[in-house]
Structures are given as structure tokens and as C-alpha cells.
Amino acid sequence: MPEARPKQAAKPQIQTQKMPSWKRGLINAFILVHLYIIAVWGLPSSSFRSRLVPPVQKYVIWSGLWHSWDMFSPDPLSINFNVEAQITYRDGSTKMWEFPRMEKLGIWERYRKERWRKWRERVRQDSFSGIWNDTVKWIARQNNTQPGNPPTQITLIRYWNQIPAPAKGDYQPIPKEYNLKFSYRFKTYDVKQEDL
């Protein structure tokens, strides 16, 4: 008597739909534009780069895809700095508000708030004065916590000092505080009711 062979289950037929060519073209264009952005944005400053960036600059800034390598070279940052806001309330009281600092945050909080580091780094510079009004309005809204006593004035203050030369030895922990000798009040804004 011949042996009965077990029946094999029929393999299910997978039906694939062909993607319309216009969708495929759109996806390919998206990928190519982003590859262009990655390649061009990472170039060092030059007249060549300055001709290639303008077509995508607004999109890159808007989307938050911008980056820079100036942290590493050719001229890395040589100062320690901090930025604070002095908040004056209707009753005359004042409060200092500090921009979030990565060295004061725990590891998980740093991960969530990394974007603050770049904001703090940029907002202190005169070349980014275009964001100062929005910054002070945002700080006023964040600190409008006392009913009947809203913020009436915000003053942005930058502090800085040269980074000291490294001491001898292999390991130097990052200090939580720096002695920042110099300061400058670079923006004072009278808060309006519609800002809150």
C-alpha cells in the first residue's frame, strides 16, 4: 500500500498593486531633493555653496533640517555663554528666567530638549535679531502665571567669557556653572496685552 503524503497547504497568493507612476515620481523627487539638501547644506562656506543653497533655504529652515559644522572647524566656539530674560511684572516685581541649559538637565530631559540648545545658541547673536520679538513674546506667555499681574517688560541678557585653556590631565568634567564676567542687555520689549 503506497504511503499517503500529507497535503501541503496552498501558498496564499499575494496581490500587489502597481503604484501609479505619478506617485513613484513624487516619492523619487522627494528623496532626490532631500539628498540634494544633505549634500549642499553640509558643504563648507564658499561661493559655490552660496549659489546652491537659495533654492532650498526657506524649506530647510522651515522644516528644521538645517545644520552646521562650525562646532568642529574651522573656528569652533571659544566662549562660554548664557542667556537669561529679566521679566518685570505689573506690580514692579522681577524674575530671572534662564534659557534651558543642557549641562543642567538629566540625560532623558536632554534628549527631549536638545533643540533648546540651538535656540539658546542662536538667539543671543545679533545676526538672529529677527527672532527676538517672537522670543520675548513666548517668554511672556510662559511666565504669565499670576492672575492680575502679567509680565509688562522682558529684557534679554547675554553673559559670556572666554573658555579657559585645558588643565593638565586626561579627564576634566564639564562644570555645571561658569564664571561669566561680561553681560549685555540686548533686547528690551514692552509686553502688550495681545502678546499674552
Give the per-residue pLDDT at 54: 92
d(CA 95, CA 8): 77
| pTM assigned to the model | 0.63
| H-run or E-run covering 96 | strand 94-98
Give the per-residue pLDDT at 135: 94
Confidence tier at 69 by pLDDT (50, 70, 90): low
Give the per-residue pLDDT at 112: 81
Delimit the domains of the chain by residue range: 21-63, 79-166+174-195
Based on its alpha-carbon atoms, the radius of gyration of the chain, rounded to whole angstroms, reads 27
Task: Summarize pLDDT for 7-22 with one digit per residue, the tens.
Answer: 666 677 777 778 888 9
